[in-house]
Amino acid sequence: MTTLAEIPARIASHLLEIGAVALRPKQPFTWTSGIKSPIYCDNRLTMSYPEIRELIAESFAAIIRAQYPDAEVIAGTATAGIPHAAWVAQKLNLPMAYIRDKAKGHGKENLIEGIIKPGQKVVVIEDLISTGGSSLKAALAVKEAGAEPLAVLAIFSYQLDKGVQAFAEAGIPLQTLSNYAALMEVALEKGAIQQEDVKALKAWREDPSSFGN
Ligand SMILES: O=P(O)(O)OC[C@H]1O[C@H](OP(=O)(O)OP(=O)(O)O)[C@H](O)[C@@H]1O
Ligand SMILES: O=C(O)c1cc(=O)[nH]c(=O)[nH]1
């Protein structure tokens, strides 16, 4: 049995094992925020591993049962949060919705798909937090629908100052199953990265916006 305290290392270890974490310092990745980064974490790969996605869903569900027992809707962020939200909603026998990054340009032109009613308490499920921009936008959409975002839960956070501050300013609780610190520790232990990689990543994290420019 895994205790809650073991989850960050266990999830980090799984992400490394399935090749979700890529380092590419010489050919930086472009993140959704426009930030150039020597590291990319593709949590979407967890969908393809039933035992890992089950651990993720059960961990999210345990947090919601313990801390947000009033949750009435589980809402995924499009696209990578959607499957995890579906598995959590199924476990908790709660309604599920998802929130697009922008309203659909045709059909019903919805931003939110599924039902979120005014006054309902909503937990937002995201796969990853970099700047927090995407998930906070989703939480804002929940508010604009007249509902209450109780928290954002995500699989992984880079723990960047920008993201941490954005959540604090928005007054929305953020909880993640794993994070950058746990990933670095496990990756060093496993020999997946070397001390010099950690040093280079540290320099990038201190000023991510100017990296690769
Ligand atoms: O915290 P942020 O700076 O907003 O970055 C994190 C977001 O970026 C990724 O989504 P992406 O835009 O790549 O879209 P996807 O979910 O459709 O893959 C990820 O799934 C998060 O939603
Ligand atoms: O910020 C992003 O766009 C981002 C970073 C990352 O490591 N993984 C991901 O899926 N998106």
Structure confidence by residue, pLDDT tens digits, 137-153? 999 999 999 999 999 99
Give ligand 2 pocket residues (Cβ under 6 A): 31-33, 40-42, 128, 130
Q: Which ligand is nearest to the CA of 79?
A: 1
Alpha helices in 20-154 (DSSP H): 50-67, 82-92, 133-144
Alpha-carbon distance values, 98 to 19, 34, 86, 119, 129 (Å): 27, 24, 9, 17, 17
What's the whole-number average pLDDT of the chain? 96
186-207 average pLDDT score: 93
Q: How far is the CA of 77 from the centre of ligand 1 (A)?
A: 9
pLDDT interval class at 213 (50, 70, 90): low
- Residue numbers in the known binding site for orotate are 130
**What is 132-163 written as a DSSP string?**
SHHHHHHHHHHHHTT-EEEEEEEEEE---HHH
Structure confidence by residue, pLDDT tens digits, 160-194? 999 999 999 999 999 999 999 999 999 999 999 99
Residue percentage of the chain with pLDDT more than 90: 92
59-82 average pLDDT score: 98
Q: Would the pLDDT of 207 be above 90?
A: no
Closest C-alpha residue for ligand 2 atom 1: 31
Q: What is the pLDDT of residue 1?
A: 58
- Residue numbers in the known binding site are 100, 104, 106, 126-134
Q: How far is the CA of 43 from the centre of ligand 1 (A)?
A: 10
The answer to ipTM > 0.90 is yes
Cα 155 to Cα 63: distance, rounded to the nearest angstrom = 12
Find out whether the beta carbon of 129 lies less than 6 Å from any atom of ligand 1: yes
Q: How far is the CA of 112 from the centre of ligand 2 (A)?
A: 22
Atom of ligand 2 nearest to the CA of 40: 7
Q: How far is the CA of 119 from the centre of ligand 2 (A)?
A: 32
